[in-house]
Amino acid sequence: MDLFSVRKRLDEIDAQLLDLFCERMRLAAEVAAAKKETGRAVFDPAREREKLAAVADRAPDALVPQAVALFSLLMSMNKAEQMRILAAGDPQGAAEDARAALKPADEPFPARASVACQGVEGAYSQIAASRLFRLPSITFFASFDGVCRAVRDGLVRYGVLPIENSTAGSVNAVYDLLAAYRFHIVRSIRLKIDHNLLAKPGARLEDIREVWSHEQAIAQCAGYLERLGVRVHVCENTAQAAEAVARAERDDVAALSSRACAGLYGLDVVDEDVQDSDNNYTRFVVISAEPEIYAGATRASLMLTVSHEPGSLYRVLERFYALGINLVKLESRPIPGRDFEFVFYFDLDCPVSAPSFIELLNSLGDVCERYWYFGSYTEVL
């Protein structure tokens, strides 16, 4: 056969495949109705194994992997459609929560708000808050947990917390707190971080014997500190480190902190931009006790757990793929008290109003043990 004839035949086969696919998806409604009536779960692992085994038996040996992958995807899309049908109108579903939290299109993100930050004036969290809000009323707390308790107790409307760094990775303590408090993310920002070595006026770089800072800043400047040959001391916050150096009765200590802290605490910059990578960004999130979704939100965050069995995470990822949703972050954390079991955090690039996203929220319960939708939001760059 010549190329034209081959392509014509392929088009004919594709047309048949499309008709059969559409018919298969239409049957999902009947399957969903039958399962609802009998109380059976959408995901039937025994039935799925039998189907895939039958596919493998019928396919030529050279095409078994492709055939199994194709039918696995078909079944995933069918299950997602069943879940969408069963979850439609569920007042307690995550999709309905997202719709209820969506603000009117003409309501902007607040310019003024009460905000909790960890540290003291000059901390990177405060700098992030000042970029996120035009006129924030900031209250400082000694720890990340203090920020969360302030939001939980209604002392402030929002909290601003660092969640990941391009050099040092995720801030695991914040992920654990998000899971514990079940907060909602309403905004995020990527802040360029330039660490500076701050010391008392007149101090010289060669005189510095000890450097104080937050553990994340220390990790981001690990190579520099090793070359400097100094001892390191971990503080609660980079700004608190600068404040402590200013109060110290020693001239051989310095703080890794922002340039703004030099002016705030009367210190000199003895070395600037000392982070190991020039591409050093920290992502901060705005958290709230109640869900708030503003127009234009394109990023979403989820937390979920899966059963401890082969293929459980694959079924989740397959659902993202089947719905055409872009996964931009996957983070795992051990579940306390459960050996070798993990909770997974996902960041997705998908508009909150996209039908595929609503379908995902309605169908996730089929592929995981439980999940929590942190919210959809805009990330400020």
Cross-strand pairs, 136: 113
Given 109, 141, 144, 284, the catalytic residue = 284
Which sign, positive or negative, has the C-alpha torsion 260, 265, 267, 270? negative
Q: Is 243 helix (H, G, I), strand (E, B) or coil?
A: helix
Place of tokens 């459960």: 338
What is the number of H-type helices and E-type strands within the chain?
13, 16
Inter-residue contact 350 to 356 (CB < 8 Å): yes
Alpha-carbon span 110 to 160, nearest angstrom: 14
Q: For this structure, is 282 an active site residue?
A: yes
Alpha-carbon span 339 to 82, nearest angstrom: 33
Per-residue tokens: 380: 């400020």
Alpha-carbon span 126 to 112, nearest angstrom: 14
Nearest to 166 by CA among 275, 257, 282, 299: 282
Place of tokens 């070798």: 340
Residues 6+ apart with CB under 8 A from 348: 299, 300, 301, 302, 320, 325, 326, 327, 328, 357, 360
Given 144, 282, 344, 346, the catalytic residue = 282
Alpha-carbon span 299 to 187, nearest angstrom: 9
Q: For this structure, is 284 an active site residue?
A: yes
Nearest to 30 by CA among 78, 77, 72, 90: 78
Inter-residue contact 303 to 371 (CB < 8 Å): yes
Alpha-carbon span 210 to 231, nearest angstrom: 5
Q: Amino acid identity, residue 277?
A: S
Inter-residue contact 180 to 234 (CB < 8 Å): no
Pairing of strands 158-165, 112-118: parallel
Which sign, positive or negative, has the C-alpha torsion 90, 94, 95, 96? positive
Give me the active site residues, please. 282, 284
